[in-house]
Amino acid sequence: MTTQALVSEIQKKRSFLCIGLDVDVTKIPTHLLELEDPIFEFNKAIIDATHHLCVAYKPNIAFYEAYGLKGWTALQKTINYLNINHPEIFTIADAKRGDIGNTSSMYAKAFFEDLAFDSVTVAPYMGKDSIEPFLEFTEKHTIMLALTSNTGAFDFQTLTANGQPLYQSVLETSKEWKNAQNLMYVVGATKASYFAEIRNIVPDSFLLVPGVGAQGGSLEEVCKYGMNVQIGLLVNSSRGIIYASSGRDFAIKAAENAQVLQLEMAGLMPKDP
């Protein structure tokens, strides 16, 4: 999926909502546990109810790996369902991979070729030779951790290095890597005050923004400092949408919560000329 196609979808739906498919079988409605593949059936119901309200889905890979082969099969069925039925949706493998050389190449093949995701999240701690193997897939997007929403982000990411915060050095350096135009960046909504500085470094890049809702981030603040002329944001919500209800109405309630966010986003987007 090209960046322009993603921008067009955002404008069409008046939404830059990304829904996190982080499926914990202890939290899904119990009637689904009677089915052969409860994880996939849960995801399918959520997708069917919300696809018109969002522009992206982001399965967190750990929630599938934890269930072994069954979990991985459910992930594969989920991405296949999306790619066949909703090819306009941007898909994100939230894997946070980070290794070097051939290992990164294999990670990239797993998510871009085998599973056919549009993008994957990566950790840049090991430098460019851990990221460039992903960037070799020029028709895909690589979403690099920049400034995350967790409390521990301050342990390293904001430390001064070469006269500037480390996360800023990471952003500056990444712009020089091969095919860097295909980079997007993770910036937590709980760090909204940093968005203006980040936009000075990567004014045109898309930012994947977790932390709105359950983690306390403000959508209005994120948009105030992080939105660019192409919107340039994918704001993620997971628990606040997919676990809106534990009953048989779970998909309906998920859509209701998603619509609340979509309408708020529409109100924060520039009006059409």
Q: pLDDT-derived band of residue 192, with 50, 70 and 90 as boundaries?
A: confident
Give me the catalytic one of 96, 109, 128, 253: 96
The per-residue pLDDT for range 84-138, each reduced to its tens digit, is 999 999 999 999 999 988 999 999 999 999 999 999 999 999 999 999 999 999 9
Residue 64 has a CB neighbour count (10 Å cut-off) of 22
- What pLDDT score was predicted for residue 271? 82
Under a CB-based contact definition with an 8 Å cutoff, are residues 198 and 222 in contact?
Answer: no
CA–CA gap between residue 183 and residue 40 (Å, rounded): 29
Confidence band, pLDDT 50/70/90 cuts, at residue 149: confident
Residue 91 bridge partners (DSSP): 57
pTM: 0.96
d(CA 260, CA 273): 24
**Has 44 been annotated as catalytic?**
no
Q: How many Cβ atoms are within 10 Å of 151's Cβ, its own excluded?
A: 8
What confidence score (pLDDT) does residue 38 get? 98
Contact 228, 234 (CB under 8 A): no
What does CATH list as the number for 3-268?
A: 3.20.20.70
Distinct helix (H) and strand (E) counts, the chain: 12, 10
Q: Residues 60-73: what's their mean pLDDT?
A: 98
Per-residue pLDDT at 211: 77
Q: Looking at the predicted structure, is the pLDDT value of residue 35 above 80?
A: yes
User: CB within 8 A of 90, min separation 6: which ones?
Assistant: 1, 6, 9, 18, 55, 56, 57, 118, 119, 234
